[in-house]
Amino acid sequence: MKLLNVIYYNYYLFYTRVLVQGDPHFVTLLALSATEGFFINGIFDVVSVTLFCYKIDKWIMITISMAALLFNYVYYHKVNRPKAIIKKKPSFFSSAFVTKIIVLLFSILAISWLFWGSYYSRSILMGC
C-alpha cells in the first residue's frame, strides 16, 4: 500500500501546485483510480493475449476500472486517510527526486497502454 500512498501524495501535489483544482482530493482519487485501472487492464490484456490468444472484452476492462475506483474510494475517503498521507509525505528511498521519477514512469507506462496496447494485442493475435 506504500506505493499507492506515494502515488496519491504526488498526484495530490500535482493537482494542488500545477493544475489547481477546487477539490484536489477528489481529482487525485479519480486520477489514481484511472491510472491503476489502465495498469491492471494492461497486465491482464498482455497475459490473456500472450497465453490464451484472447482479447479481453471492453466491459471487463470497464469493470476492472470501476473496481479500482471503488477500492480507492473505500480505502482513502471512507476512513479519511488522505490527511494522514499528506501529513506524512511518503517517498521512496527518502528522496523526492527518485520518488517523482518512479511515479512519472509508472504513470507514463499506465497511460501509454491506451495508445500502444491495441497495436501490441493485434500483432500478437495475428500470430495465433
Cα 24 to Cα 14: distance, rounded to the nearest angstrom? 9
**Mean pLDDT of the region 58-79:** 90
**Mean pLDDT of the region 50-74:** 91
Cα 109 to Cα 18: distance, rounded to the nearest angstrom? 21
Q: Write the DSSP string, 50-71.
A: HHH--PPPHHHHHHHHHHHHHH
Cα 13 to Cα 25: distance, rounded to the nearest angstrom? 10
pLDDT of residue 67: 95
Cα 38 to Cα 5: distance, rounded to the nearest angstrom? 18
Digit-coded pLDDT (tens) for 25-59: 889 999 999 999 999 999 998 899 988 888 888 99
Where are the domains positioned within the chain?
A: 2-126
